[in-house]
A and B are shown apart, each in its own frame.
Chain A
Amino acid sequence: MKKTIRFVLNGYEVTAEVAAHKMLLEVLREGFQLTGAKEGCGQGECGACTVLVDGLSVNSCLYPILEVEGRSVTTVEGLLGEGNRLHPIQEAMVENGGIQCGFCTPGIVMSAKALLDEIPLPDEARIRRGIGGHLCRCTGYVQIVESIRRAAEKMAAQGERDS
């Protein structure tokens, strides 16, 4: 069963002809060649495939593609600004050693974004819970948590200056 769907992808309206049994992750990676979201387990345990759907973090490996009809999807590629400007969360991950092999990074960045969009200055425990749906085998999470904390502070300060 094939269907044509329309949705917003990283700010642009897109259409795609998809097989009904495909998951969002497969369509992003194979159909749109957006390979930032990774398949780490395919079963919603590792979080490497995390993207935002209408601003909420979801495991795209368990998100039936037909459910994105009419919704807005943001992937890690959607965070990059003009001139390859990293999002403050990505920047903080780079600056504070939050990245080692990097396979889990795009997913964690998306969860961190969802978290900070909701709670601008989370405490450490809240950050840990916020990325509780991610597995990372390299870092022990310490510098990831630190990166998100610093990003939050920087973004909050930036927000104050802007307002």
Chain B
Amino acid sequence: MYDTRFVGGSVPRPDAPDKAAGKALYIHDLIRPGMLYGKIKFSDHAHARIIHIDTSRAERLAGVRAVVTGYNTPEIRIGFIKDNFALKKGKVRQYRDEVAAVAAVDPDVAQEAVDLIRVEYEELPGVFDPEEAMAEGAPLVHETDPRGRPKVDNMVPVPWKFEAGDLESAKRSAAFIAEGRYETPLIQQSCMGTAGCIAEFDLQNNLIIHTKTQIPFLAQNDFNQALAAMGLRGKRTRVIVPTLGGSFGTGLDTHGYEYIAILLAYKSGRPVKIVLTREEEFTALSPRQPTRTHIIQGCDAAGRLAFREVRMLLDNGAYTSWGATTPSVMMLPISSLYRVPNVFYEAKIVYTNNTYCQAMRGYGNPQAAWALECNIDQLAETAGIDPYEFRQRNANVPDEITPMGLQITTCGLDRCLDTVAEKLDWKRKRGKGGARGVGMASLFHVGGSGRVYRSDGTGVIMKLDDFGCVSVLAGGVEMGQGFISALSLTAAEALGVTPDRVSVLTGDTATCPWDVGTHASRGAFTAGNAAIMAARKAREQIFQLASEHFMPRVHANLKRRRKRDPDFELPDFNYERLCDPSEFELRENVVFLKEEPENPMLRVPLEEILRAAHYKEQGTMIVTEAFYDPCNQMLDARTCRGNMSATYIFGTQGAEVEVDTETGRVRILKFVAAHDVGRVINQQTIKGQIYGGVVQGLGYALCEEYKSREGRNLNPNFLDYKILSAPDLDFPIEIECIETHDLEGPFGAKGVGEPGLVATAPAVANAVYDAVGVRITDLPITPEKVLAALKRKKERP
């Protein structure tokens, strides 16, 4: 445990006042001189051959400055297996395919020009169901793979398989077995600020792009590749991230619209801004991966988990983005939530003509938790054990190594379970009928970053000025989660200054140090650790300077004092004394001697030391840096084993619900979330993260669904894509942060960004089952499904 002054408190976020005043600048608010407005023409079909694109009328429209298609621009491939293109040629494979784009002097003209573009298509049969897509003779979404080799099926070449122990013998000897099939729908991240960018070139043809991203440095690499494809090899990209109106995973990949803005900017020689409308945000960004899961779990007579078998089918959509890698995270709870020796997990990913999927908060974990935690309740019931008791019996323990090779350090799962049970009054309320019930579900997630790329690193630069202020330049991104707040507290704590002296600067690849991306709940964890490392170096340098300047400054200050107060007697210090750096301490902006911490005469403000170092012959300054790359491992591609994260996070959530058996409506009466967070950095922001996660999770549980018919989205607006609003939250949400003080984390903290929504839906479903005895297996748990299930139960009890 660390003794801290600022970490662990409850303080306002440094970025809040500007946001409260409406002064924070989002991409929507940015204007560059001479800027044009870009607009994209999307496909009219889910699957069709492009016969001809006629842009002539758009080109002739007054105010239009550039028109691009796949036929008049260089081919730019995007996505991690490069099966996607910035602008489509030959054929379209989904409604959101970009076939052309314009840049014009104002948004109305751009829209009018796009409407004047005529595209002639030959429609092709599409495939919209992942199982149908796997059937023989299904239409091929891609006729060739990214290398041009013919494809014979719709399988995405990113298979996932994990095996541990002996599944078959475990199955034979299990005392109880429960089986279930679970589904999750497409859902949309629904950032309040839609996505967008402004691309421009300087006169050396280097690219500057302001864009909404969580991965400024990986995006820089993507855009550099695009420049190379455009014949600008060797030119540089500078990515600048404006204030983000939420991101929730949308910013983990680069998008067609960014490349299109780049093409338009290059062609027009002017800055080009593309901001998606809400409808485009729904139809042209990548939502959360939908899943179909077949799960079987078994336990022995004492209720100890014996095996877990999980087979999943993922609808990839038409192209491959990070959605296809979510099984790497699904695998974590599947292999390691509760102690289970025998595990089989396989995920197949299939191309369809639906919209392609990407990352969203939790990165596959909510889908896995949905199947796992509902099925745990089924198994507990089969075994005749209370599901809370069942979970407690199988709970993970500290220092455990799981079948996947995950090395658990601290683990507060047992305390999370107890807290939820206690707060829900579990023993009294469980199984009492009357259409009321309680349910719980747990989660397991990375808490110490996650090595999904070769590097899991992040950089921090600490720059001290002669006013005793500190600029902390970080590679991570603030998107609302509280990165800046957490980092400023951590940096202040580690350095020995007050947080008001710290400014955190992020989001500019030209000035900020490299970072792999703000994902996997890693921002505060990795940057915090880097800040501690950089602060350590800065303190060494400060104390080095103090050894020379401390006593002379003390002398000068005392002499000044005597000038004001002639009665003051100069104490008998050796003012020429050179101190040893190890004699000093720095706390709350003041350097003092460890031996005499209370002596008011032997205290020198940090800024005086720093100024003395600047203003002297052969002066110096203090700028330190650190690159933190956690002690974790990349998954072995073949065995899917490896200690992906430096530490892991646990949590349990619980719901008390009431079901209206005549309308099928589920009303939440109380919601409880207990999370092992390692250590709280800022009470206020951590609670905000968990509250926000829970409410997103409740939306996933109850009402959110991206509905499509043959690949076309039917609800591209908040009128029909329902996220919860304040009047829906008419019940208490109680949060408990369980502190386990992890040695890997900055001051003991673990990552907390994603877990808030992971266990929410199964907790609700389990409570619904307790209330009325029906198990909804496909999200969301709508009144329609509940009522139909109640009816079926009545007919066939």
A touching B, CB within 8 angstroms: yes
In the complex, per-residue mask of A98-110: 1 if CB is within 8 Å of any chain B CB, else 0: 0111111110010
CB distance from A96 to the nearest CB of B (A): 7
Within 8 Å by CB of A37, from B22, B191, B718, lies B22
CB distance from B597 to the nearest CB of A (A): 32
Within 8 Å by CB of B727, from A39, A94, A128, lies A128
CB distance from A163 to the nearest CB of B (A): 27
Which residues B339-353 have CB closer than 8 A to chain A?
Answer: none
Most interface-central of B23, B688, B696 (chain A CB within 10 A): B688
Q: Is the CB of B278 within 8 A of A41?
A: yes
A136 within 8 A of B: yes
Q: Is the CB of A143 within 8 A of B687?
A: yes
Of the stretches A1-9, A65-73, A75-83, A152-160, the one at the interface is A75-83
Q: Is the CB of A36 within 8 A of B21?
A: yes
B246 within 8 A of A: yes
Task: List the A side residues contacting B693 at CB < 8 Å.
Answer: 140
In the complex, per-residue mask of B1-37: 1 if CB is within 8 Å of any chain A CB, else 0: 0000000000011011111111111101100000000
Q: Is the CB of B688 within 8 A of A45?
A: no
Q: Is the CB of A102 within 8 A of B480?
A: yes
CB distance from A133 to the nearest CB of B (A): 8
Most interface-central of B24, B244, B694, B730 (chain A CB within 10 A): B24
Q: Is the CB of A103 within 8 A of B26?
A: yes
Smallest CB gap from A39: residue in B? B28
Q: Is the CB of B725 within 8 A of A135?
A: yes
In the complex, per-residue mask of B716-752: 1 if CB is within 8 Å of any chain A CB, else 0: 0111000101110110010000000000000000000
A91 to B18, CA, bound (A): 11
Q: Is the CB of B246 within 8 A of A137?
A: yes
CB distance from A140 to the nearest CB of B (A): 3
Within 8 Å by CB of A143, from B17, B22, B684, B694, lies B684
Q: How many residues of A contact B (CB 8 A)?
A: 56
Q: Is the CB of B688 within 8 A of A94?
A: no
Task: List the B side residues contacting A128 at CB < 8 Å.
Answer: 726-727, 729-730
A53 within 8 A of B: no
Q: How many residues of B contact A (CB 8 A)?
A: 54
Q: Is the CB of B22 within 8 A of A141?
A: no
In the complex, per-residue mask of A30-74: 1 if CB is within 8 Å of any chain B CB, else 0: 000011111111110110100000000000000000000000000
Q: Is the CB of B729 within 8 A of A139?
A: no
Within 8 Å by CB of B20, from A34, A90, A138, lies A90
Task: List the B side residues contacting A77 at CB < 8 Å.
Answer: 21-22
Smallest CB gap from A19: residue in B? B108
Q: Is the CB of B718 within 8 A of A46?
A: yes
Q: Is the CB of A137 within 8 A of B692?
A: yes
Q: Is the CB of B25 within 8 A of A101?
A: no
Q: Is the CB of B22 within 8 A of A76?
A: yes
Task: List the B side residues contacting A102 at CB < 8 Å.
Answer: 15-16, 18-20, 24, 243, 245, 480
Q: Is the CB of B723 within 8 A of A135?
A: yes
Q: Is the CB of A138 within 8 A of B12?
A: no
Smallest CB gap from A41: residue in B? B278
Most interface-central of A43, A46, A141, A144 (chain B CB within 10 A): A141
A161 within 8 A of B: no
Q: List 23 A-B contacts (CB under 8 A).
A: A34-B22, A41-B278, A42-B277, A84-B17, A84-B21, A91-B20, A94-B13, A97-B12, A97-B688, A100-B246, A101-B19, A101-B191, A102-B19, A102-B480, A105-B22, A136-B192, A137-B191, A137-B692, A138-B246, A138-B692, A142-B687, A143-B691, A145-B729
Other than the given A94-B16, A101-B244, A101-B480, 14 more pairs (CB < 8 A) read A35-B25, A41-B718, A42-B278, A45-B718, A86-B17, A90-B17, A90-B20, A97-B13, A97-B684, A101-B245, A103-B245, A129-B726, A142-B691, A143-B687
